[in-house]
């Protein structure tokens, strides 16, 4: 099972798949990959073999082997082509008590840096991270937000970096990493309150998802910290609206906000993926007056530049026109 599981992981990594799915079917398991939003069937295996592979992966991810119905989360890493790929696992049983497993693959930060379209966008984030304040990353799942956050945090030499995530996705020995555990009453909000007493220079907050976390993140930025976090929103303008809806004071947000960076992974004609950013620097007074606005003018101009340079197809431009 170890060889079989690693064969699946290796095949997914070679395709730069974002997710691996073990899906129960009648008497068998379907193993498929998600690549650039498209699903590819890798193979089908007998149910017994599929369950053994799932058990092997769960065991290595510190998940309970006896629990096959309730949701479980785990983390692991493996080596591929001299690179360490981090895995985030999620298991749950269906109504027939047949277990499914999804593995999110998180690739090295160096791979992301090599895969951007425009260097000035990357530099803009780097400059924002040199200042105290709030830097926010947005984009759909699998777009590389966490990988980007960790890359820029690693560049901050001589700084004490404290991470709070649910779960920890990327292991970094130089950072103090704390994991959310709701069952142990260790929520984002509670951990942030405790973490402030450690006097870090930089916070990485896995996700601003509720009022308490949003307000403490802004408060930490106001008190002189650099705070990096993600926010679920469809575009950069949606991030403003999301934070205000979570109760963040507009004037305080205006004081601390360095940059909002929305990102997507675009398939290229060469067959790989590159990151295109849509960014707004600092506080945009007009943003809250247009909550339904889509992407910025710069986003559409950059899409056109990518097509003119022969990097992406007209179909890709049409697909990603609205982010």
Could you report the average pLDDT of every consecutive run of 10 residues in the chain (323 residues)? Answer: 93 90 95 84 95 95 90 89 88 92 80 73 94 94 84 90 85 87 78 83 91 90 94 88 90 92 91 89 67 79 95 93 88
Enumerate residues 6+ apart whose C-beta is below 8 A from 99: 24, 51, 54, 68, 69, 91, 92, 93
Helical segments of 76-181, H only: 109-114, 119-128, 145-154
Q: What is the CATH number of the domain that holds 287?
A: 3.40.50.300
The Cα 152–Cα 159 span in angstroms is 12
Residues 75 and 163 in one domain: no
What local confidence, expressed as pLDDT, does residue 305 receive? 95
Residue 234: both structure tokens together: 């469809």
The total of structural domains in the chain comes to 2
Provide the domain limits for residue 119. Answer: 109-319
What local confidence, expressed as pLDDT, does residue 131 receive? 92
- Final residue belonging to a domain, choices 47, 82, 106: 106
What local confidence, expressed as pLDDT, does residue 136 receive? 96
- Final residue belonging to a domain, choices 59, 76, 106: 106
Residues 113 and 86 in one domain: no
Enumerate residues 6+ apart whose C-beta is below 8 A from 177: 162, 163, 165, 168, 171
What local confidence, expressed as pLDDT, does residue 276 receive? 94
The Cα 62–Cα 268 span in angstroms is 37
Which of 306, 275, 268, 308 lies closest to 142 in space, CA to CA?
275
Q: Are 88 and 167 in contact (CB under 8 A)?
A: yes
- Final residue belonging to a domain, choices 85, 106, 127: 106
Residues 12 and 132 in one domain: no
What local confidence, expressed as pLDDT, does residue 196 receive? 80
Residues 25 and 140 in one domain: no
Q: What is the CATH number of the domain that holds 79?
A: 3.30.450.90
Q: Are 109 and 151 in contact (CB under 8 A)?
A: yes
What local confidence, expressed as pLDDT, does residue 286 receive? 65
What local confidence, expressed as pLDDT, does residue 11 receive? 95
């Amino acid at each position: 099972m170890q060889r079989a599981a690693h064969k699946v992981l290796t095949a997914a990594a070679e395709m730069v798949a974002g997710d691996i799915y073990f899906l129960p079917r009648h008497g068998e398991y379907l193993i498929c990959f998600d690549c650039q939003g498209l699903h590819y069937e890798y193979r089908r295996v007998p149910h017994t073999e599929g369950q053994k592979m799932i058990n092997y992966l769960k065991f290595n991810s510190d998940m309970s082997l006896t629990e096959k119905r309730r949701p479980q989360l785990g983390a692991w890493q493996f080596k591929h082509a001299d690179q360490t790929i981090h895995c985030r696992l999620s298991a749950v049983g269906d109504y027939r008590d047949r277990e499914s497993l999804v593995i999110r693959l998180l690739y090295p930060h160096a791979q992301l840096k090599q895969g951007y379209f425009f260097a000035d966008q990357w530099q803009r984030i780097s400059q924002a991270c040199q200042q105290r304040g709030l830097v926010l990353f947005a984009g759909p799942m699998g777009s590389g937000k966490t990988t980007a956050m960790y890359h820029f945090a690693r560049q901050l030499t001589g700084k004490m970096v404290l991470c709070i995530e649910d779960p920890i996705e990327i292991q970094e020995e130089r950072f103090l990493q704390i994991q959310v555990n709701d069952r142990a009453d260790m929520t984002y909000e509670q951990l942030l309150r405790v973490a402030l007493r450690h006097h870090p220079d930089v916070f990485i907050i896995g996700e601003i998802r509720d009022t308490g976390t949003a307000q403490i993140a802004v408060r930490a930025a106001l008190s002189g910290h650099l705070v990096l976090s993600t926010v679920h929103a469809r575009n950069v303008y949606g991030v403003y609206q999301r934070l205000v809806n979570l109760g963040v004071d507009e004037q305080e947000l205006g004081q601390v906000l360095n940059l909002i960076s929305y990102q997507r992974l675009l398939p290229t004609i060469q067959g790989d993926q590159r990151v295109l950013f849509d960014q707004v620097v600092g506080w945009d007074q007009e943003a809250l007056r247009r909550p339904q606005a889509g992407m910025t003018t710069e986003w559409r101009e950059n899409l056109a530049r990518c097509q003119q340079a022969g990097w992406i197809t007209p179909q890709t431009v049409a697909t990603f026109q609205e982010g």
